[in-house]
Structure 1
Amino acid sequence: MSSFLLLSNSDETVWFLSRHDYSNVAEDAFAWNECEQLSIQAATTEDEVVAVSRFWERHVPILLSVRDGYEYLAVRDDGAVVHGAEPEFEEAVVVFSQLEDLLKYIIACPTARNGVVERLLFDDTGRP
């Protein structure tokens, strides 16, 4: 996170969050916790607000996408990388058991791909 300011696809619809994004002074169109904010705004009861807050206490977004609707990758407090999408951001699924596995996957740029991650990270040529 600290080695880059912007790491995105060419049309900037998918991007990894940088240290700058997590700072209180970031003035980007999307906050690092945009999905959490949207879920809280959509909550209709206090119990729903509490459930959303509990979910996001355990998850830190590392990638946001607005390519085909709002999506994210986040690191869960046990180290797993999860994927979530609108409208129910908190219905996340594990895509890698550890962040290190995601990074190795990106570096390897494999031919047999993880569907969710491939769609978010790779273009039609297979390049990140």
Structure 2
Amino acid sequence: MNELFRRAAGSLKEAGWTCEPRLSTEGGAYAPLYTAPDTVNAWVSSFSLLSSADETVWFLSSDDYSSEAQGAFAWNEFEQLSIQAATTADEAAAVSHFWEHHLPILLSVRNGYEYLAVRDDGAVVHGTEPEFEEAVVVLSQFEDLLTYIIERPERRSRVLESQLFDATTDPQ
């Protein structure tokens, strides 16, 4: 897996991303990562910073999931926004239920608020404002995202290209 991570981070660096390796392997697993697939845990633990050149898209690192993490956006920022927007207890419960089964791994403010998350079954989903919970599957497994980053297949995903490689592409 380390080779896959190294190659994916290398491809992003070639596309102008900033990548800072994780300096310390100390620090425990944070609660949001307890149920995440091992590959996701290993990926988010492989860097301390991984962000686009324009700093509008970034992968969350393991430290971002800490309750003490500092930054403009919390790892669960979009869940918090949706709960604040809920008008009934049932709506708030539905939001919480959705996010119990989706772990954000990438946040974006490039074309409005967007994210990529890993669903309980390993699928990578994409969601946007204002209805963050109306997510669509973009890849069937997390490892497919890393492979996509490395290989950039001929048949490209507009969503992934917009978030990962082209600051001028509008996914709509």
The match for 1:65 is 108
Is structure 2 residue 154 aligned with structure 1 residue 111?
A: yes
Cα distance in 2 for partners of 1:5, 1:123 equals: 23
For residue 137 of structure 2, what is the aligned residue in structure 1?
Answer: 94
Q: Compare the two structures and name the one with the higher helix fraction.
A: 2
Deviations 1:49-87 (A, max 9, x none): 000000000000000000111000000001100000000
Structure 2 CA distance, aligned partners of 1:88 and 1:123? 24
- Give RMSD over aligned pairs: 1.3
**Which of these residues, 46, 56, 59, is aligned with residue 13 of structure 1?**
56
Q: Deviations over 1:65-112 (max 9, x none)?
A: 001110000000011000000000000000000001111001112332
TM-score by length of 1: 0.94
**Amino acid paired to 2:71:** D
In the other structure, the counterpart of 1:121 is 164
1:55 aligns with 2:98: yes
Q: What is the deviation of 1:25?
A: 1.5
What amino acid is the match of 1:7?
A: L
Q: Which moved more, 1:58-67 or 1:114-123?
A: 114-123
The CA distance in 1 between the partners of 2:102 and 2:110, in whole Å, is: 22
Q: What is the aligned-residue identity percentage?
A: 74
Task: Give the TM-score taking structure 2 as reference length.
Answer: 0.70
Confirm whether residue 79 of structure 1 aligns to residue 115 of structure 2.
no
Aligned to 1:40, which of 73, 80, 83?
83
Q: Deviations over 1:23-68 (max 9, x none)?
A: 1111110000001000000000000000000000000000000011
Q: Equivalents in 2 of 1:24, 1:53: separation in Å?
A: 17
Q: Read off the aligned partner of 1:101 and give its amino acid letter.
A: D
Unaligned runs of at least 5 residues, structure 2: 1-43, 168-172
Structure 1 runs, 4 residues or longer, greater than 4 Å off: none
> In the aligned structure 2, how far is the partner of 1:3 from the partner of 1:55?
27
Gaps of 5+ in 1: none
